[in-house]
Chains A and B, each alone.
Chain A
Amino acid sequence: MEENISQPIQNGIANKLKFYIAGLLIVAAIIFLIISSTKSSAQYFLTVDELAAKGSSMVNRDIRISGAVIGDSIQYDSKTLILSFDIAHVPGDNKVIEAQGGLAAVLHAAVSDPNRRTLHVVYQGVKPDLLRHEAQAIMTGHLGEDGIFYADEILLKCPTKYEEELPQQVGNQ
């Protein structure tokens, strides 16, 4: 008698267990995917000063860095498509930039200050139109052991005339 009653209950537990194990396996797999992918593709946002401070620990890591382009340093070979230039340190925090008078002022100050820390950048590809003196370069790439930053992608921001011409205090775009 007893066995007859406990049989279905045991079945029920075994059945539940089966589902929990299958579910846990899937959840574990998803967690594993998240952790391993995060580790392997994390990208560090750094300023020139921060990169210098971290030094060799950042070699060959995926890095996103921004700085002010120094116009005199731009060299470009249109046959081999090799572009190189120097960037000067600018603060990374928006609030700090605003406090120092906005992006244009910060960029101007950065390139005019001979004591600013600079970083040499090498990029293979077509020279972007917006690459010029006092532009903000936002780049992804990695730091080589030779201390040169090898960029894979360059994004440029210029405080354009367009924005300056806008009437003051219009909206907050």
Chain B
Amino acid sequence: MLANLGYGVLVITLLISLYGIAAAIQGARRKNTSWLDSARNAMLLTGPLVTLAVICLVVLLVNGNYEVEYVASYTSNSMPLYLKITALWGGQAGSLVFWTWLLSIFASAVTLRDWQRDREFLPWVIVVVLVTLIFFLGLIIFIENPFARLWEIPGGMIVKSMFPPSIAVLYTQTDGNGLNPLLRHPGMVLHPPMLYLGFVSFVIPFAFAIAALITGRTDDRWIRITRRWAIIAWLFLSLGIVLGSRWAYDVMGWGGYWAWDPVEISALMPWLSGTAFLHSAIIQEKRGMLKQWNMVLVILTYDLVIFGTFLTRSGMLSSVHAFAQSAIGPLFFAFIAFTFIASITLLLHRWDELKTEERMTSLFSKEALFLVNNLLFMGILVICFWGVIFPLLSELFTGQKVMVGPPYYEKATAPLFAALLLLMGIAPLAAWGHSNYKALGKSIRLPAIFVLLILIYAVIRGVKNPWALLGFGLCAFVMAVIVYEFWRGIRARQKIKGESFFKALWQLTTRNRRRYGGYIIHLGVVLMALGIIGIEMFQSETQGTIAQGEQLNLRGYTLRYDGLSIFDTTDGRNISRAVVSVYKDGKFLQELYPRRDYYYENQQQVTIPGVRSTWEDDLYVILIDWEPVSAEGATFKIFHNPLINWLWVGSIVFILGALIAAWPERDQSTVRNRVAKQNYSASEV
């Protein structure tokens, strides 16, 4: 039977992983290649094995085998196929399986790389990856088992268990409870996998970092091997966060994109330390500095990933006091504590070897500004972490539950985000090594003129809020600097190589992917910042109950309530759908259909806004309440969200930039050939 097969395969994977660790350590200690090869084969096997277990679970979900408790809890007969598949990550047990599956695929992929130059890393990479894998396999097998079935024992009690209790029969429901309707959105199909991909891929750089610490090969080899992993991990994490944000905007019906919910913060924290790492890794590569710091960042990111996985799926999100209720909480904390302490001990052991000869000399050099960037990212991280643990601390020390909400995060992080924007503009202009403020001041002149023009335009358009002006000014500054950087590079190529504008742009970007990809990422961030400034500072809202034909006004828009219809759908929903006409300055623009879907089987309703979206602003209409019998009056809430679309456009630019930065460099052999040819031709001359 499929449930038994899936469970059995996971148990076998656990045993093979244990063997792999033993073999890897044996191989490293005796410098024995056959042990090492055996360990490598063990890790190679984990991917296909866990894939088989996942296939079992997916088939159970799709077939509707309701004797399996997980299937009964998260699917139902009326759900379409794609939703039945996404139920794989709809609940805690399934999402742990999904996490483990991704990790096992990465584990297999890593064994297939060319290890010729880094053979001494191999055993320790295997150990770190497999220890992480075993932790998650253990959770699934012993605590959160998605293959556990329902049994009816004499007396009518229903028991959840993997193996049949004595004299019990399988209990099969005719229909399942179904996935939470809020999760039945296309964004939910992609958001969790992207986030988890981002989480899981950070395990690989961590494994290499630990391998470097254990073997004492503390040059920047580990960073060079894993930088692409790190960028790709970061890309997926960013994509996951942005998709989640878009989902909240479309589905949650509070007209916002980010709520500083502990779960959101738990995804943001590894992103922050990961972003800091991507920047400081550049310093290590270029200048050989910050080696110790990079280790700290990788270790931190790894443990924040584990912490984030725990928070996103543990159910402690609604109540911070529910630790004791879930059996996996203490285990997660034990694992985080174990990996963190072990890693830091290793790091301290190698601390002196990681010292650098190079010293920073100028406060305005590029490396110093990168260091400031790291401080700011860590600052935001500390603010987030403090906010999450504050209720626990205050209850522990004062006995009084005190929480901090979104205003705390907004007030505390806004100045740091603004400072990061400023740095984003200054750092590209600064030079490596020796630099001073005079040289920097000179190069800032042109962008500063552009900023002035934008600010004058903004004031003419009626922007009076000084903080908004500061924000817009910073955005303009960064944009000007990025355009200037591209222009400078293109001009240089045009002069030297005589290339056309577009060819020069293409060559410039593809020859130096990380630098120019990075600039495009920054451009995306600036566009996102525009959207965030727009909605945070200029959002307005109104609400009211109006009869048919009556109107509501907001920011020059007029909304007329035309009618309401209530009907059932074939997939078990009861839809109440209002028709409203939107006018601006007396001119008809379009009809919107805000609605409320009621899911019979879950007894839950989902509010779906009607949105008119333009480059300038979004008009976001929510149907809150109505009189069902007469269909006379209905209550609407309307949000006016200026510039919000730039948040989504910026995200796309951002992801594009990250793709460019992560794209594989030209094959090394062709580069070598070219160098050889050049040498040859040089000697000929």
Contacts and interface: CB of A to CB of B under 8 A. Distances in A.
A40 interface: yes
Contact of B625 (A34, A45, A79, A127): A127
Nearest to A92: B401
A43 B624 contact: no
Interface in A35-86: 36-38, 40-46, 62, 64, 78-79, 81
Contacts of A45: 391, 400-403
Interface residues of B, number: 54
B446 interface: no
Interface in B402-418: 402-405, 407-409, 411-412, 415-416
B375 A34 contact: no
Given A18-B363, A43-B405, A45-B403, A168 B157 contact: yes
B375 A27 contact: yes
A150 B458 CA distance: 38
B202 to A, nearest CB: 24
Contacts of B407: 37, 40-41
Contact of B390 (A38, A62, A64): A38
B401 A33 contact: no
A167 interface: yes
A15 B361 contact: yes
A126 B637 contact: yes
A169 B160 contact: yes
A60 to B, nearest CB: 15
A171 interface: yes
B368 A19 contact: yes
A161 B624 contact: no
A38 B402 CA distance: 10
Contacts, number: 123
B69 A26 contact: no
Given A15-B361, A41-B407, A30 B382 contact: yes
Contacts of A40: 407-408, 411
A94 interface: yes
Contact of A81 (B386, B391, B408, B545): B545
A105 B545 CA distance: 36
B571 to A, nearest CB: 18
B570 interface: no
B315 interface: yes
B359 interface: yes
Contacts of A166: 177
B108 to A, nearest CB: 32
B603 interface: yes
A interface, by DSSP: helix, strand, loop or mixed? mixed
B467 to A, nearest CB: 15
A115 interface: no
A144 interface: no
B158 A170 contact: yes
Given A18-B363, A33-B412, A44-B401, A168 B158 contact: yes
A37 B412 contact: yes
A89 B161 CA distance: 39
A29 B359 CA distance: 25
A173 to B, nearest CB: 7
A79 B550 CA distance: 14
A99 interface: no
Contacts of B360: 15, 19
A45 B327 CA distance: 26
Interface in B35-91: 69, 73, 91
Contacts of A6: none
A79 B633 CA distance: 11
A23 interface: yes
A75 to B, nearest CB: 16
Contacts of B375: 23, 26-27, 30
A37 B375 CA distance: 19
Contacts of B605: 129
B408 A19 contact: no
A41 to B, nearest CB: 4
B372 interface: yes
Nearest to B406: A41
Contacts of A170: 69, 150, 158, 160
B158 A167 contact: yes
A29 B177 CA distance: 51
Contacts of B412: 33-34, 37-38
Contact of A171 (B69, B157, B408, B602): B69
A156 to B, nearest CB: 13
B159 interface: yes
Nearest to A140: B405
A125 B379 CA distance: 38
A169 B624 CA distance: 36
B363 A38 contact: no
B589 interface: no
Interface in A88-141: 92-94, 125-127, 129, 140
A131 to B, nearest CB: 12
B134 interface: no
B314 to A, nearest CB: 12
A171 B73 CA distance: 9
Find the residue from A15, A43, A161 having the highest chain B CB count within 10 A: A43
B402 A26 contact: no
B403 A42 contact: yes
Contacts of B321: 93-94
Given A42-B403, A129-B625, 7 more contacts: A30-B383, A30-B416, A37-B383, A37-B407, A81-B543, A94-B325, A126-B637
Interface of A: 12, 15, 18-19, 22-23, 26-27, 29-30, 33-34, 36-38, 40-46, 62, 64, 78-79, 81, 92-94, 125-127, 129, 140, 160-162, 166-173
10 contacts: A26-B379, A30-B382, A34-B383, A37-B412, A41-B411, A42-B408, A43-B402, A64-B403, A140-B405, A173-B91
6 smallest beta-carbon distances between A and B, as pairs? A45-B401, A37-B412, A30-B379, A41-B407, A167-B158, A41-B408
